Each structure stands twice: as C-alpha cells, then as structure tokens.
Structure 1
C-alpha cells in the first residue's frame, strides 16, 4: 500500500470507530471480501483507507467523474479519530446519500480536523464517493 501506515486501533475497535477489529470491519472492504452496504459504511472504510494508506481502495471507491489519477498522502499528517455527525439517505434501499463527518488529525504536532458533508451514489451495486457538498477545513481543536 502506498502512503503512511499508522498505528492500528486496539483489538476491539476499527480505525473508523466502530466496535469491531479492523480485519472484520473495514479490512474486509479494503481486501475486496465484501462491499460497504451503506454510504456511511463506505465513508468509514474510506477514512480507514486514508489512515492505513490504501490508495487502491480509495481510487476504487471514488466515482469516475471526480476521481483523481492518484492520492497524494501527506507523510506529516496522522489521522486520529472520526466522528459521523449525520447522514441522509445512503441506506439499503437508497441510490444516493450524504454523510456529514469530522476527521481529526495531527500534522507537525498540531491538532486539527476537517469537516465534510460528502455525497455518495450507488452504482452497479457498489457505493461510490462523489465528493464534498461542503468542505470546512479547520486548524486547531
């Protein structure tokens, strides 16, 4: 995997914050053993992919209309924690949805967070990230 691999969570929680080990939670999506069943689960798995530097998964789950050619991981940035603030649609019977989240990080020993309300669509049975509806970068706590 490209990018910076970061310390994993403890054995009872995934990087995404759900109470399951990484291998049983986001790891199965990253390996291709399963597809994220909802927009929120896709967003959580993408956060985990940024955390472990899984460029292939990030590109595979990015809508072709907005997908960059590659991911430039910032080696000085360490993702710390994810908060899901709200969702609309994005469930088992939906074809699109949004997930509002806040991702906390540390860069050059300074804490910060980025907040985004992301749009997702279901295409050929798989949820894909389209892009931000709103992006609110923040520096500091």
Structure 2
C-alpha cells in the first residue's frame, strides 16, 4: 500500500483500519475507523462505539479527536475515515464541525473503504463557509498554516 498512496497516508489508513476492526457496532453493524495526524506528527485513532440508547454513541472521528486532545495534540493536519459498503463514508455533520474546531480549511480529509482511498476532500469542501473558533475571536492552531 505504501507504494501507491505514500507512507504518511498509508500510516493513517493502517491506523484507521485497525481502529475500525475494534469498533463496537452491535446495533448498526456498521463499523467505522478514523485516524488523524496532529501538529506534532503523531497519529491518533478512534472507532465508533454504540450503546443500547441508540443512537447515543460516539463516532470514530470524535474518538480520534478525543485521543488527540488526551495525547496533547491541538491541531489536525490530516484525517482518514474508513467504512464498509459501496458509498463514501464521509463525516457526519457533527463530526465535520468537530474537525473544524481543530483543522484549517485546507486540511485533507481522506475517505477510504477496505480496498484503499476512495476520495479526498479539504475541510472547506465538506463544510464550506463554516462557523469556527475564529468567529469567536479565538485562533485555530492551524489558522496561520
């Protein structure tokens, strides 16, 4: 895989796929994994976690962001989401906003299936004209990137 997509993207793919394999999705039977790279170059991964009070669960992207924060990171430089099925598994609206909190408009968001990368977007493409930290006069860690 590293030959076709590059080592950095391959590492994100492998981390997201490993997280997906650990997902707890007994109600939807739709496991999802996410992995992101922070401003220090570290990888953080998460998987979806459902519960009996469906749909009160945690998305894979939210888990990866929480892991980043707990690990001392504050900025997403790239994120990859992997899911099954023939359609693109892009972040839900809430997760697009979560990513926005810690990413710049040009941050790449890679969407994958088990076979590899299906499509890549920027945050701006998935969440145009978004509301974020700068609207509240707070600087995003990547605002100057």
When normalised by structure 1's length, the TM-score is 0.29
* Structure number with higher helix proportion: 2
Task: Answer 1 or 2: higher relative contact order, Cα 8 Å, separation at least 6.
Answer: 1
When normalised by structure 2's length, the TM-score is 0.29
